[in-house]
Amino acid sequence: MWNIILSQLSALVELRDFACERDERILFSSLNAIFYAGQVVQILGANGSGKTTLLRVLAGVSPDYQGEILWQGQALATCAWEYTNASLYLGHLPGIKKSLTPLENLRWYAAIQGGVGDEVLLQALAEVKLAGYEDTLCYQLSAGQLRRVALARLVFSTAKLWILDEPFTALDKAGAMLLEARLAGHAAAGGLVLVTSHQDINVPDLLQLNLQDFALAHAKLHTAGYQETSAHG
């Protein structure tokens, strides 16, 4: 009994009979899933199976979907404002201006979130091992360092839901480990991480959702491809 109540309380995102299509091709359908606070969920699937599409829909960039998205048990339409406030999306494109310095880039993101001072941003840059680069133009940074600038947003983010599309791209081993630790830390602090990656993610209690189980050809074979395993219990 308590278990059920607890899990209902911490169910952050729920997808009901969810389907996406792109260019009139159904990517996946009949996707039913509940994501709980405290989980790190890796979205799997071959190239073109709809991972990015799913994340873009969840981030609110794209409104093209069928089915229902629920945020903490409420339909998204009724709590869109809370949802956008509580989610952070990092896409394929890092969203970093190359003619700005890392600090100037982060200042803009800090303004979206509100109430983050420069000292917090400098600390965030230090945490992604970019101390000393805060006044270098991002033109002069490598691809991996650019990715780190974008990932520095995770350090000062107050969002509960992290939607990360291929965040490990261009990161070196140390950077990947740093990011894994951050994802695990976010989950432990009661957050939810939805992440796509083609490499293995080394995080305790990692859950995997394979979108190919919901591709049209298989849609009828699997009634529930996503095994609900709550990591918080």
Q: Please tell me whether residue 65 binds another protein under the rule CB under 8 A.
A: no
Q: Please tell me whether residue 102 binds another protein under the rule CB under 8 A.
A: no
Cα separation, 116 vs 107, in Å, equals: 8
Compute CA 114 distance to the chain's CA centroid, rounded to the nearest angstrom. 20
Are 32 and 219 contacting, i.e. CB atoms less than 8 angstroms apart? Answer: no
- Residue 60 or 67: the one with the smaller Cβ distance to another protein is 60
Residue that has been written with the tokens 């009949």 in this structure? 30
Cα separation, 145 vs 172, in Å, equals: 9
| Segment lying near another protein (by CB under 8 A), choices 13-21, 89-97, 123-131, 211-219 | 89-97
At residue 92, the 3 state secondary structure works out as: coil
CB of 181 to another protein, least distance (A): 24
Size of the site for another protein (CB under 8 A): 30
x-marked contacts with another protein along 109-138 as a string, rule CB under 8 A: x-xxxxx-----------------------
Cα separation, 118 vs 116, in Å, equals: 7
| Segment lying near another protein (by CB under 8 A), choices 35-43, 87-95, 128-136, 198-206 | 87-95
CB of 48 to another protein, least distance (A): 18
Q: Please tell me whether residue 67 binds another protein under the rule CB under 8 A.
A: no
- Residue from 81, 132, 173, 233 that binds another protein (CB under 8 A)? 81
At residue 177, the 3 state secondary structure works out as: helix
- Residue 40 or 106: the one with the smaller Cβ distance to another protein is 106
Q: Please tell me whether residue 89 binds another protein under the rule CB under 8 A.
A: yes
At residue 60, the 3 state secondary structure works out as: coil
Q: Comparing C-alpha atoms, which of 212, 109, 198, 223 is closest to residue 156?
A: 109
- Residue from 1, 4, 77, 93 that binds another protein (CB under 8 A)? 93
Q: Please tell me whether residue 71 binds another protein under the rule CB under 8 A.
A: no
At residue 71, the 3 state secondary structure works out as: strand
Are 90 and 150 contacting, i.e. CB atoms less than 8 angstroms apart? Answer: yes
- Residue from 4, 24, 47, 99 that binds another protein (CB under 8 A)? 99
- Residues numbered 12 to 51 that lie near another protein (CB under 8 A) are none
Q: What is the dihedral of CA 177, 180, 181, 183, to 10 degrees?
A: 160
Residues binding another protein (CB under 8 A): 59-64, 81, 84-85, 87, 89, 91-100, 104, 107-109, 111-115
